[in-house]
Chains A and B, each alone.
Chain A
Amino acid sequence: MSEEPAMTTPVREQESALLEVRDLEKYYPITAGLFRRQVGSVRAVDGVSFDLYPGETFAIVGESGCGKTTLAKTVAALQEPTGGSIVFDGRSIGELSNRELKPVRRQVQVVYQDPASSLNPRKRIKAIVAEPLIVHDIGTKAERRERVDELLEQVDLPVEYKYRYPGGLSGGQQQRVAIARALALNPKLLVLDEPTSALDVSVQAKVIKLLERLQREYGLAYLIITHDLSLVKNFADRIGVMYLGKFMELASSDDLFDNPMNPYTEQLLSAIPIVDDEELKYKPAEISLKGEAPDPSSPPSGCSFHPRCHKVFDACSKIDPAFYDVESDHHVRCLLYDDDHRE
């Protein structure tokens, strides 16, 4: 693999974004009483904006309940947003009818966290991998069979495995099948929702290697959702750190780790259990952590992170910080970077 060129960040000026997400909102209603009256809402995704370029890997990192999976589902057009816009390849997804969405769905495919539950246990691998082709009515039966063999080869699975059921494969092999299925329609964007968190580390390394190779070969763009910062450090080009439905920090992965600006990012970094002393250079000085993510149905006033923040000051509980563009392409949501409010 070493003779292949190293992955590079695509040159932005020459290319237009594959995916443009602007002020995306997804609120879930909370209802109560006999008539299911709406009494509030859970702001799972609350004003998220980002761009994704062809061939790029964008990672969304956050703790459980921060809305990262909701964001992924909304981007993959599996859910309708309650506000904001998603433009994929020049077409605004929100304005399309279900029928018009179908060609878009071919371009955006999803790989889920737990392969054991995303693969139908009663279907053979060949049927699972061929299913997207059938749904989108592509090719004849013979062509589909051929395509399945080709896909299994691409994900390093022996072709004989197509006669097996998912139960006869290990977790890593099942995840390869899920990746093969996602590739069946030649998508431009793969949404990876915690693709390796159900796998052991030695298997995870192999799956990540496979994903990197596929990206090089097909120029795929990845939107990877994960809670593991050390995994995306060297996998993603840009990273968005999410907390209670909002991006707290958005930067290229080198910038984010060399110079974490938001206190929440610092806390996440300091909490990673490391295995090598050299990793210490990326860890901020000792921070005492406290608390857990609050209930998203009643977020704290002001900055949603202020009750847990180690750099909190008075204004934090009153003013909701904007998303400041501190350096070029390094955005931070924190009042520390607002000259009017900083103490």
Chain B
Amino acid sequence: MAPILEVEDLKVHFDTYEGKQQVLNGIDLTVNEGETVAIVGESGCGKSVTARTIIGTLAQPPGEIVSGEVRYRGEDLLSDRAAAQRVKNEEMAMIFQDPMTHLSPVFTIGTMMADIINYRGKRSISWMRMIRDAIGRGNRLSAADRERCVEMFTKLQIPDPEGILDRYPVELSGGMRQRVLIAMALITDPDFLIADEPTTALDVTVQSQILDILAERIAEQNLSVIYVTHNLGVARKLADRIYVMYAGEIAEVATTEQLFDQPMHPYSIGLLESIPKLTEFDSEGIGGLIPNYTDPPSGCRFHPRCPAYMEGTCDVEQVPAFELGDGRYVACYLYEEGMDVETAASIADTEVEYEDEELEQFAAGQTGGTPPWEEDEP
């Protein structure tokens, strides 16, 4: 499989009153042709920033791309503006989390579909068109386009696909709005789709329906997908490969099977343990907070919360991503380059153990000084 998108050493900073926030700290990411890649992490870890930088909607300022490359089929989108514009207009599409903020409340679904079909990728329109638009006759769906929309709505299992074109977003339920948003992204037949938490605002039964539909679309249109989510269960359902992200760094890359079978990075292990399961739920969670980006911890950004923290090793230099056998990567000094998976798995089993002792001791007043979670306090 040839890579369709390669992100290399992407660094994005944000200017704020508190100083320069070093949000993305060297992201490497590859999406192969026809592959679904999930970026998983907790809120504030930079997953949406990554998605927005790739599709070129990062607000600049306050955002600033300090270094890195985003190559789409070999073209660097960050340096070549023309290519970026073309790729964004013709080959990429994005689905957002909250349909209500991304659908206009004052236009019908049909008008918005017409906007996309008629104007997407066009940088100028003719005078005639402008006049026709101004007197309200211009922006309509042609009969053929109408058919196309109805066909797409039918594929997304929207009831009454014909009638929905004349309705406003407020008249639709949450699940239907999200389906419309997906239809808008897919109607132009993109090759590459970025989905930023598209099911987070929905109920589980609706989420499950949307995921099924999305999976069907991905397979049928042979889409390459970046799926951003905080929900590991959703990622497991949809993704081929998963990038676990923590505080602007990629902690671990593995295929979905590998990750759920044996997570390696202490953060992935803690994250997986923290998820309430039907079988059992007896997790301590992960102590501490996501670090402050203006003054991030030295070395591995996870070290202040890590149960396997090695003083003098973890807090010195940024951890490179070590490749283990089977093509998975993990950015943690517990492992070494080229280590085979069994050895790594036994290390993960023995070294990484989440306990609550520190916190309990502190609560009981046995330790002095700063509590363990104080260190990262913004």
Contact = CB atoms under 8 A, between A and B. Distances in A.
Interface of A: 1, 63-64, 153, 156, 158, 168, 170, 172, 200-206, 208-209, 227-231, 233-235, 257, 267-268, 270-276, 278-279, 281-283, 289-290, 292-293
Contacts of B271: 201-202
Nearest to B259: A275
Contacts, number: 132
Interface string B222-234: 0000000011111
B205 A289 contact: yes
B208 A271 contact: yes
Given A205-B285, A209-B284, A273 B279 contact: no
B97 to A, nearest CB: 15
13 contacts: A156-B359, A158-B362, A170-B289, A201-B42, A201-B230, A202-B42, A227-B203, A227-B204, A234-B280, A268-B205, A271-B207, A272-B278, A283-B278
B282 interface: yes
Contacts of B207: 271, 273
Given A267-B205, A271-B204, A273-B234, A279 B278 contact: yes
B204 A268 contact: yes
Contacts of B285: 201-206, 209
Contacts of A205: 273-274, 276, 281, 283-286
Contacts of B378: 168
Please name the 8 residue pairs, one residue from A and one from B, whose CB atoms are nearest each other, closest first: A273-B233, A205-B285, A271-B208, A206-B285, A202-B286, A63-B203, A200-B42, A282-B278
Nearest to B287: A206
Band of interface residues on B = 35 or more
Contacts of A271: 204-205, 207-208
A206 B272 CA distance: 14
Nearest to B260: A275
Nearest to B229: A273
Given A273-B236, A275-B272, A292-B203, A257 B208 contact: no
B270 interface: yes
B293 to A, nearest CB: 14
Nearest to A264: B205
Interface string B335-365: 0000000000000000000001001101100
